[in-house]
């Protein structure tokens, strides 16, 4: 019996009921963060024996079989779970100063636990239920301040439809294996996956929930939801490719991913132009940056896969910075509209909003610019129009964020004081950005195990 | 005999779903929705030859979900009347008409693009319920009705899924996901809308 693996699966579900009664106290955030830290300790501290589970598959410890289904941990899974739980720990700590983020701790632990189970379960179709349940549960984390309802409802509708599409895709993929040579299944499966991706990633016209989450919901809960839906799905897709290798050969696959990525980048810039609130802009900024990762993935080259993983990982810090700043802004002014908090009264909050916004859209000198530059270099010879549009997107999005800085201040009204934690968080955030900037050339090598799954499946 | 029953049953299921879409008062809405779930379970057993236990599972889960929604709405009447009473901006006549057109569209699609593993009436019902559920969820401003919409989508999908899927675990998990959605909608309806300190 692989006890460490069972502990890995059980720990979040044991911690969530403990976090629930403590959610209104300052103890919930450290408890949830410690649980996430323990998950990392389990992943890296346990001397996992390497077991040959198949002709070309090495697992960490023996796979566990439950009701005929296999649960196993591979090296790529270990890196995926490290990314997931590392960000979860950071998100729990980011939410600590804000009482209205209290639903994040129990729900976040449960959702991340379900996501973990979904990543490890085979067949992948059964994992879809665990991951789908996690996605649905996350709807509760965005409620917080009396007006997160519209975002939560929009999100729930998109997530539910996505779940139906994922389960249909899993069933269709199994049918393709049972009925070789029938084109219906090999066409239906990637179509369903791409439609599910469009809903879960918030691709226009199903984008409404993304800006609503950050604009009206609890910002850190919304950011964690966005991270799981976007990066978590990115981490889950190699399992699909490994289970159904013919999927990567479908012409729909690469074209679809590229179209999704390009649509996310371009539409978010166009939709962001008339917006006048930091929250909604943050949502569009995340869409634009995540779209770049999906576009790079759709290129189907080793460089594209590495760039995709790199850019998905590097933007976690801007996303969390944006979430913290939005929560602090809302704490001060009850709204995320421009001009509610003057620079003099909330300098760290405004600096965080602007910095994380510009970092999300890869404005120089933020580290994401290196990835965008590399992608532009690759795109320029074959698709100069798209490359130029990507440059224009950075300009347009950067301008929308800068516009927030110079927006006319709202009429004088009593504001809550800036949270004291904003200064410390701001210092940590800007330091992290500096470290990322300096470490940029070496970051790619850390991603090798994570991208190996993609690279092996796509390129052989 | 089976053929004779299928059309009236499909009409009953889709008609009751359209009625849920058009209604504003929560009591008849929940009652009619329970009828939709029960009739779709019956139809599954009659038309798709699904084992009676599975069709029973569909009916049982429909009944359970309707019970959950009834209790939630009953409680929300006192604690969150504004959330419960939020009405759609689209008048009921237009919603009913949209539901009717969706059914016609579903019939056309099912007849034009039939699937070999599912009878046409069931396929039409699947499309119609998913479409009506989506309409209900997107047009509604009350979480209770949006939840019924999402669950109508799920029940339409389950008609398809139960007919083609032979894994009992997958079927059980799909039914469990409906319960997750019901729980979420209950939470969204009843959650205290706190203000900042």
| B1 or A240, greater pLDDT | A240
Contacts of B184 in chain A (CB under 8 A): 136-137, 139-140, 156
| A301 or B108, greater pLDDT | B108
Number of domains in chain B: 1
Under an 8 A CB cutoff, do B194 and A334 touch?
no
Chain B: give the shortest CA distance to residue A429, in Å: 26
- In tens digits, what is the pLDDT along chain A, a chain of 460 residues? 788 889 999 999 999 999 999 988 999 999 999 999 999 999 999 888 888 877 667 888 888 888 778 888 888 889 899 999 999 999 999 999 998 888 899 999 999 999 999 999 888 888 899 999 999 999 888 775 555 677 888 888 899 999 999 998 998 898 888 888 788 888 889 999 999 999 999 998 888 889 988 888 889 999 999 999 999 999 998 888 888 888 888 888 889 999 999 999 999 989 998 888 899 999 999 999 999 999 988 887 888 888 888 888 888 999 999 999 999 998 888 888 888 888 888 899 999 999 999 999 888 888 888 888 888 888 888 888 888 888 888 888 889 988 888 877 766 677 888 888 888 999 998 898 888 888 776 666 556 666 666 666 665 5
pLDDT tens per residue across span B176-196: 888 888 888 888 887 754 444
pLDDT on residue B1: 46
- H/E stretch holding A121: strand A121-122
Contacts 24+ apart (CB under 8 A), A17-23: A17/A106, A19/A105, A19/A106, A19/A109, A20/A105, A20/A106, A22/A105, A23/A102, A23/A103, A23/A105, A23/A106
Does residue A171 sit at the B interface (CB-CB below 8 Å)? yes
Contacts of B153 in chain A (CB under 8 A): 160-161, 164
The answer to whether residues A121 and A215 touch, using CB atoms and an 8 Å cutoff, is no
A181: left (phi > 0), else alpha (psi -120 to 50), else beta? left
When computed from its CA atoms, the radius of gyration of chain B, rounded to whole angstroms, is 17
Q: Which of A129, A145, A149 sits opposite B143 (nearest CB)?
A: A149
Chain A: give the shortest CA distance to residue B147, in Å: 9
Does residue B113 sit at the A interface (CB-CB below 8 Å)? no
pLDDT on residue B194: 46
pLDDT on residue A4: 87
Under an 8 A CB cutoff, do B154 and A125 touch?
no
* Chain B residue at shortest CA distance from A165: B157
Q: Which of A136, A164, A330 sits opposite B180 (nearest CB)?
A: A136
pLDDT at position B2 over 90: no
Residue B176 sits in which domain range? 2-195
- The complex's ipTM? 0.85
pTM, two decimal places: 0.90
pLDDT on residue A457: 61
When computed from its CA atoms, the radius of gyration of chain A, rounded to whole angstroms, is 21
Does residue A102 sit at the B interface (CB-CB below 8 Å)? no
d(CA A110, CA A107): 5
Chain A: give the shortest CA distance to residue B7, in Å: 26
Residue found under tokens 């590229």: A258
* Beta strands at A57-60 and A64-66: parallel, antiparallel or unpaired: unpaired
The answer to whether residues A387 and A379 touch, using CB atoms and an 8 Å cutoff, is yes
């Amino acid at each position: 019996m692989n006890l460490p693996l069972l502990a890995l699966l059980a720990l979040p579900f044991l911690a969530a009921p403990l976090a629930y009664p403590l959610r209104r106290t300052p103890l919930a955030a450290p408890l949830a963060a410690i649980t996430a830290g323990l998950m990392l300790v389990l992943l890296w501290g346990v001397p996992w024996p390497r077991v040959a589970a198949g002709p070309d598959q090495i697992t960490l410890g023996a796979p566990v079989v439950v009701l005929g289904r296999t649960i196993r941990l591979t090296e790529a899974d270990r890196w995926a779970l490290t990314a997931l739980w590392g960000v979860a720990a950071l998100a729990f700590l980011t939410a600590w100063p804000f009482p209205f983020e209290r639903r994040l701790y129990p729900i976040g632990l449960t959702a991340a636990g379900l996501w973990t189970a979904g990543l490890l379960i085979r067949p992948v179709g059964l994992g879809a239920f665990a991951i789908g349940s996690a996605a649905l549960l996350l709807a509760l984390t965005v409620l917080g301040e009396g007006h997160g309802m519209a975002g939560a409802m929009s999100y729930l509708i998109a997530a539910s439809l996505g779940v139906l599409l994922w389960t249909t895709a899993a069933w269709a993929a199994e049918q393709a294996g049972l009925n070789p040579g029938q084109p219906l299944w090999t066409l239906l499966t990637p179509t369903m996956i791409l439609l599910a991706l469009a809903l879960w990633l918030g691709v226009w016209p199903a984008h409404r929930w993304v800006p609503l989450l950050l604009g009206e919901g609890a910002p850190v809960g919304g950011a964690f939801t966005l991270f799981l839906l976007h990066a978590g799905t990115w981490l889950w897709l190699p399992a699909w490719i490994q289970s159904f290798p013919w999927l990567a050969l479908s012409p729909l696959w690469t074209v679809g991913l590229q179209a999704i990525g390009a649509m996310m980048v371009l539409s978010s810039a166009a939709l962001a132009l008339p917006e006048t609130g930091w929250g909604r802009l943050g949502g569009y900024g995340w869409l634009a940056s995540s779209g770049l990762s999906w576009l790079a993935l759709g290129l189907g080259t080793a460089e594209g896969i590495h760039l995709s993983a790199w850019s998905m990982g590097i933007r976690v810090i801007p996303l969390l910075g944006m979430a913290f700043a939005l929560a602090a802004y809302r704490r001060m002014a009850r709204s995320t509209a421009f001009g509610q908090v003057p620079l003099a009264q909330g300098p760290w909050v405004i600096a965080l909003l602007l910095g994380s916004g510009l970092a999300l859209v890869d404005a120089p000198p933020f580290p994401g610019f290196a990835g965008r530059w590399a992608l532009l270099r690759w795109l320029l010879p074959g698709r100069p129009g798209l490359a130029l549009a990507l440059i224009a997107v950075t300009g347009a999005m950067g301008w929308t964020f800068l516009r927030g800085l110079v927006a006319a201040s709202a009429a004088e009204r009593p504001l809550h004081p800036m949270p004291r934690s904003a200064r410390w968080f701001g210092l940590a955030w800007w330091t992290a950005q500096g470290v990322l900037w300096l470490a940029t050339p070496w970051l790619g090598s850390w991603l090798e195990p994570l991208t190996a799954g993609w690279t092996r499946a796509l390129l052989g | 005999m089976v053929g004779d029953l299928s059309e009236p049953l499909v009409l009953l299921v889709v008609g009751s779903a359209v009625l849920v879409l058009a209604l504003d008062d929560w009591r008849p809405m929940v009652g009619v929705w329970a009828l939709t779930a029960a009739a779709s379970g019956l139809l599954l057993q009659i038309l798709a030859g699904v084992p009676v236990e599975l069709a029973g599972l569909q009916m049982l889960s429909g009944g359970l979900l309707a019970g959950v929604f009834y209790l939630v709405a009953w409680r929300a009447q006192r604690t969150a009347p504004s959330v419960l009473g939020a009405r759609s901006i689209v008048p009921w006549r237009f919603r009913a008409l949209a539901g009717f057109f969706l059914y016609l569209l579903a019939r056309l699609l099912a007849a034009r693009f039939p699937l070999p593993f599912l009878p046409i009436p069931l396929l039409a019902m699947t499309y119609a319920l998913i479409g009506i559920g989506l309409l209900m969820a997107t047009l509604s401003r009350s979480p209770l009705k949006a939840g019924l919409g999402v669950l109508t989508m799920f029940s339409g999908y389950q008609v398809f899924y139960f007919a083609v899927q032979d894994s009992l675990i997958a079927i059980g998990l799909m039914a469990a996901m409906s319960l997750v959605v019901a729980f979420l909608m209950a939470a969204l309806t009843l959650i205290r809308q706190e203000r900042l300190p």
